[in-house]
Structure 1
Amino acid sequence: MVARLVLVIEHEACIREVLEACLRDLGGWIIVLASSIKEGINLCEQQRPDVILIDTSTPEIDALLFIEELKFYSTKYFVPILLISSRANWLSAERLRQMGFAGVINKPFNPLTLSQHISQTLGWSA
């Protein structure tokens, strides 16, 4: 696999650690971690990720505003955003695109196949 730069925005430390380990060790990717959407937006400008993985269930008060700012960045730089959620399995692919997401990773996810799932969703070759 090509070494991609993946920005993971996840407020739960244990899930961040699992995502980092499986995407780095099994996917061979470079992982940048953010514990909040606001922090993730700042990291986008510094790191220029190839994809953004975000869990939108966050305790941030201004989460919706930050998500819109993140979507603006995504559109401006053609960086896909994948939603990580336990509640998104009822959304269709078309609805996700309308909302500004390239796809969804359902929780619970399989750490062993996660990088492959992301590559397939984004059309990245192995």
Structure 2
Amino acid sequence: MSLRVLAVDDSRTIRDMLKLALTQAGFVPSLAEDGLHGLEVLGEMAPDAIITDINMPRMDGFGFIEAVRRLDGHRATPILVLTTESAPEMKARARSAGATGWIVKPFDPVKLVRALNMVAGPGGAQ
């Protein structure tokens, strides 16, 4: 079964890169341009994993993660943060909000796919 992945990022270029990488890996991607849009898309699907940026308009990644964790069906959905941020306090804040993992941009598609399989694939940390 193909993993369904919701990717949330305000950069069209990053969304396009994620769509390509996820599709090539056999995943089924859904895309959103910010946290609010991500919550809308989340209401229409049941992803096996979520990838989110931190710095976005309307609703940032921290707010998005917190909102997802308040939803009954998504308290345990793996959430990977994909961001240019690398400060330890940002990572700690994301973990506190409910993030599962952290990947710094620019990203290696192979490592991203490996991380998704580790947290959401068969035998992953769901």
Q: How does the TM-score come out when normalised to structure 1? A: 0.80
Quote how far apart the aligned CAs of 1:110 are: 0.7
Aligned to 1:24: 23
Q: Is the 8 A contact 1:89 1:106 kept in 2?
A: no
- Structure 1 residue runs of 4+, over 2 Å off? 62-68, 75-78, 88-99, 123-126
Q: State the shift of 1:117 in Å.
A: 2.5
Preserved CA contact (<8 Å) 2:49 2:116: no
Q: Any residues of structure 2 matched to 1:35-46 within 5 Å, and which?
A: 35-46=33-44
8 Å CA contact 2:65–2:99 kept in 1: the answer is no
Cα RMSD after superposing both structures: 2.6
* Sequence identity (%): 26
> Following the alignment from structure 1 to structure 2, what is the Cα–Cα distance between the partners of residues 124 and 112?
15
1:43-76, Cα deviation, whole Å (9 max, x unpaired): 112111111110010122x435444322312x64
User: Which stretches in structure 1 are left out of the alignment for 5+ residues?
Assistant: none
* TM-score using structure 2 length: 0.80
One-letter code aligned to 2:7: V
Tell me the matched-pair count.
121
Q: Give the equivalent residue in structure 1 for 2:70.
A: 72
Aligned counterparts, 1:1-126, within 5 A: 2-25=1-24, 27-60=25-58, 62-63=59-60, 65-73=63-71, 76-77=73-74, 78-88=76-86, 90=88, 96-120=94-118, 122=119, 124-125=121-122
